[in-house]
Structure 1
Amino acid sequence: MLRRASLLSICILAAGCNQEQQGNQPPAGAVRPQVSVVMLHPRAVAITAELPGRVGASLTADVVPQVTGIIKTRLFKEGTEVKAGDPLYQIDPASYQASYDSAEATLQKDQAAIPSAQAKVDRYQNLIKQNAVSSQDLDDARATLAQAKADVAAAKAALETARINLDYTTMKAPIGGRVDASTITEGALVSSGQSTALTTIRQLDPINVDVTESSANLLNFLEAVKSGRIKTAGPDISVKLKLENGTTYAHSGTLRFVEANVSTTTGTFTVRAEFPNPDRLLLPGMYARAILEVGLAQDSFLVPQRAVSHNTRGEATASFVGSDGKVVQRVLSIQRSVSNNWLVDAGVSDGDRVIVEGTQLVRAGQDVTATEVSVDDATGDIRPLSQSSALDKPPVASAPVRAE
């Protein structure tokens, strides 16, 4: 009886062990989870900086009177384009014309005194040789001639001043551009040197865009250039503009200057770009975002943002499908965002297959079935590859990718 019980116990233990071994193995014919992957290859990535800013006129001039008088006529149409030198206002010139005529008459009178004084000097120079006049008489004659010449010079200066004031009665555009509304009407009295401008002219073509960048980002960029990760674009940096409604401005601009001063309150500095504006689409005060192409990162990897998550330590991680078909999770070193991708400088290598869809259904070490897809850089949407595309063929970028 005891022997029969022992045999029964052995059979039960053997059956339990067999069931445990069968439970640790996947059932025969089990379906592997399906995941979508993107094959990574190194490529050149255009490094850009997208910075907020405001549009401003390239030239701005306030039109203020240089003489006092009554506005007789307004000679421009508000809101139109004017050229430098175009007449804008006519101040009543009557009093200034009279001053000019008076100065001209004074000059003629002073000029008439010179021949008489010159003749007296010439005569005394001949008489003094005969001791017919004293040296004092000759010196007085010379002083009279010098005074007459000085009077002529002063009269010429007064005449020029009167001419300038007379010209100022016709107020002209100091620069070309679009003229604002007039702040005064015909018949108004204006004063020389008044603080209130009669109108303002703004040059809109070309036009400036002033953007701000943090000093911290500048230091990071310079460090990347020094280490060789980024090759600078050179002195002629191209700039594109994204408008308030999300559209991209049709014309490219040029970087004009970088402010050599960092604000102590905001930690930012100003960067100015100049854009052509033939259609006058850009107006001063508009908000815009300038995209500066500052450099090129050679042999870089772009990992779709949808494939990257973070672990409990805050590290960026992504899941990959190894050559054996098993899932592997790695920690990535991210530099910056590039459209809908991350620019990664550590944690990936050529030919890696990163999972972009189905990550939630798998775990590290699990066997999966991988289907290669592509991810649109602009939208982040997944697109199927054609049947003829090989897994080991690198993607071809039709346009440089822009960093945000």
Structure 2
Amino acid sequence: MALSGDGAGPVDARQGSGGGSRVGHSVSRVVVRASLILAWSLSLSLSVSLAACGEAGDKKKRPTPEAGFIVVAPQAVPLATTLGGRTVAYATSEVRPQITGVIRARRFTEGGLVTKGQPLFEIDPSLYRASVDQAAAALMSAQANADAAAQRAERLRPLASMEAVSQQDYTDAAAQARQTRAAVAQARAQLETARINLRFTTVPTPISGRIGRALSTAGALVNANQVAPLAVIQQLDPIYVDVQQSSADLLALRRALASGGAQAGSTSVRLKLEDGSDYPLPGTIQFSEVMVNEGTGTVTLRARFPNPDGFLLPGMFVQATFDQSVNPAAFLIPQAAVQRDFGGEAFVYVVGPGNKALRRPVQTARVVGANWVVTGGLKRGDRVITQGTGNLKHGAPIRPVPASKPERVVARPAGKMGAGAGNGSGGGR
């Protein structure tokens, strides 16, 4: 037994020894923890210091970004217009009879080519041939009466001068002679009418072209006042293409032409067919309508195309492209150089004073090939940045260099791949 120093009571020596051991272990753990915290703090401070030093070093070592530019100048840029339309036959003739009768024969091949004046149908001519004979006989009778009346007037004229007959008798005879001459002229006209009707029994081709199917067959009764044609002929070489343009676009074009902001373009037209292929022969604009379609608000423009092989058929849907106007002072800028902000406004970066990138708003009209047509915001001599635009900021320093063309990669044979790999980086430069 032993007494504690403060008189609290007896304490077992063995218990005192065990308690001291536990206290020692607790103190050791506290010391270890404090050491770990101190080490972590030192490591964190060192990392922060190293990171700060690294960033400072990066800022010092980061080079000025390189930007490729082009020098722009205004030029005359044709403004192409593409409009949809349909093909229309150059000439269309609906063949109709001019007399009444029964069709006796058809003289053409359906779907074939016919020439002007070629017989198409034959109508039974019996009645019309008889009318010619009747008119001829009536003419002969009228001629005989005219001869008799003229001779009687000639005989009475000297007798009337000698007062052997009354003057009235001679006057009546002369009037009778004139009436018979008029009857002769009337009979001659009736004979000519009968002959014309007889010619109409053969229905000829009014124009050259391709004829469709026969809408009336042999044995059908036709008349001069019928609505349905006997056949339809269309002349396809050349052929028309009618396209529709908005009246608002046409009005804007006319204002631009009147103000001098644009010049009249070419009348040459290129055609794209329904399957996306290009028609090989160019056409020309013929005219535009002088009125606006009230239902569609469009104006019809007509172009003429050669069609020697009959490849284009009436009613085909096509797209016509032509240079309707020319902008004499536009800028062609590569599409990669033109960007847009959140409001949709276009802008480019130009090389400003002190070799700094400056953001410049521009006005774009349309795309021509791989370029934008810029009509405002630039002036002659501006250096527009076309390469390295991804990280540009307004007012940031840059190192401007002339824009270069993309590098062409040449494939190497498989056997020489290992030998060429060592020179790849050097060749890329």
Instruction: Report the TM range for the smaller structure's normalisation.
Output: 0.7 to 0.9
**CA shift at 1:154, angstroms?**
1.1
- The structure-2 alpha-carbon separation of the partners of 1:20 and 1:223, relative to structure 1 and needing over 3 Å to count, comes to farther
C-alpha distance in 2, partners of 1:74/1:64?
Answer: 14
- Do residues 241 (structure 1) and 236 (structure 2) align? no
Q: Is the 8 A contact 2:69 2:383 kept in 1?
A: no
Q: How many residues were matched structurally?
A: 362
Question: What amino acid does structure 1 have at the position aligned with 2:155?
Answer: R
- Deviation for aligned residue 1:345: 1.7
Identify the range of structure 1 (131-140 vs 202-211) with the bigger mean alpha-carbon deviation: 131-140
Aligned equivalent of 2:151: 119
Counterpart amino acid of residue 260 in structure 2? G
Higher helix fraction (1 or 2): 2
Q: Indicate the residue corresponding to 1:266 in structure 2.
A: 296
Cα offsets for 1:360-401 (capped at 9, x unmatched): 455443747878355xxxxxxxx5489xxxxxxxxxxxxxxx
Aligned to 1:308: 338
Instruction: Provide the C-alpha distance between the structure 2 equivalents of 1:125 and 1:330, rounded to a whole number of angstroms.
Output: 109
- Alpha-carbon offset, residue 90 of structure 1: 0.8
1:60 corresponds in structure 2 to 92
CA deviations on 1:309-333 (whole Å, 9 max, x unpaired) are 3212221123456686654432111
Residue 295 of structure 1, aligned match among 325, 328, 350:
325
Question: Following TM superposition, by how much is the alpha carbon of 1:300 offset from its aligned partner in structure 2, in angstroms?
Answer: 2.2
Structure 2-normalised TM-score?
Answer: 0.75
Residues 126-165 of structure 1 mapped to structure 2, 5 A cutoff: 126-165=158-197
24 and 215 in structure 1: CA distance in 2 versus 1, 3 angstrom threshold: farther
Contact 1:107 1:156 in 2 (8 A): yes
Q: Are the counterparts in 1 of residues 67 and 385 from structure 2 also a CA contact under 8 Å?
A: no
Counterparts of 1:376-395 in structure 2, within 5 Å, are 384=407
Match of 1:190 in 2: 222
DSSP-derived class of the 2:103 partner? strand
TM-superposed deviation, 1:27: 3.7
**AA of the residue aligned to 2:76:** A
Q: Which runs of 5+ in 2 are unaligned?
A: 1-47, 410-429
Residue of structure 1 equivalent to 2:45: none
Judged with a 3 Å threshold, the aligned counterparts in structure 2 of structure 1 residues 63 and 290 are, in CA distance, closer, same or farther, namely same
Residue 255 (str. 1) matches residue 285 (str. 2) = yes
Report the RMSD for the aligned CA atoms in angstroms: 3.1
Indicate yes or no: 2:199 matched with 1:167. yes
The answer to whether the 8 A contact 2:67-2:398 is kept is no
* Amino acid across the alignment from 1:354: I
- CA shift, 1:202, in A, is 0.9
What runs of 5+ residues in structure 1 fail to find an aligned partner? 1-15, 375-382, 387-404
Q: 1:103 Cα deviation (Å)?
A: 0.7
TM-score in terms of structure 1 length: 0.80
Q: Which moved more, 1:48-57 or 1:17-26?
A: 17-26
Query: Who is 1:380 aligned against?
Result: none
Tell me the residue number matched to 1:343: 373
Matches of 1:81 and 1:51, distance apart in 2: 32
Residue equivalent to 2:210: 178
Asked which structure has the greater RCO (Cα within 8 Å, sep 6+), the reply is 1
- The match for 1:352 among 383, 399, 420 is 383
Shift of 1:267: 2.1
Relative to structure 1, the CA distance from residue 228 to residue 190 in structure 2 (aligned partners, 3 Å threshold; closer, same or farther) is: same
Check 1:355–1:320 CA distance in 2 against 1; reply closer, same or farther (3 A cut).
Answer: farther
Matched residue type, 2:107? L
- The one-letter code matched in structure 1 to 2:128 is Y
1:48 to 65, 80, 84: 80
SS in 1 for 2:280: coil
1:373–1:385: 8 Å Cα contact kept in structure 2?
A: no
Flag the 1:87–1:384 CA change in 2: closer, same or farther, 3 A: farther
Cα 1:274/1:148, change in 2 over 3 Å: same
The one-letter code matched in structure 1 to 2:344 is G
Q: 1:116 to 1:25 in 2, by over 3 A?
A: farther
SS in structure 2 opposite 1:186? coil
Q: Please give the alpha-carbon distance, in whole angstroms, between the structure 2 residues aligned to 1:25 and 1:39.
A: 36
> Contact 2:336/2:386 (CA < 8 Å) preserved in 1?
no
1:329 aligned to 2:359?
A: yes
Shift of residue 276, structure 1, vs aligned partner: 1.5
Contact 1:334–1:346 at 8 Å: present in 2 too?
Answer: yes
1:145 Cα deviation after fit: 1.1
Please say which structure displays the higher CA radius of gyration: 2
Q: Partners in 1 of 2:273 and 2:70 — Cα distance?
A: 33
- In structure 1, the residue corresponding to 2:217 is in which secondary structure? coil
| SS state at 1:77 partner | coil
Calculate percent identity across the aligned residue pairs.
Answer: 39
Q: Give per-residue Cα distances to partners, 1:235-275, cap 9 Å, x unaligned.
A: x7222222222232222222211111122332211111111
CA contact (8 A) 1:322 1:353 kept: no
Contact 1:327 1:366 in 2 (8 A): yes
Question: Is the partner of 1:44 in helix, strand or coil?
Answer: strand
- Supply the distance in 2 between the matched residues of 1:220 and 1:29 (Cα, whole angstroms): 55
* One-letter identity of the residue aligned with 2:361: V
Q: Distance in 2 between matches of 1:263 and 1:28?
A: 69
Q: Distance in 2 between matches of 1:17 and 1:42?
A: 55
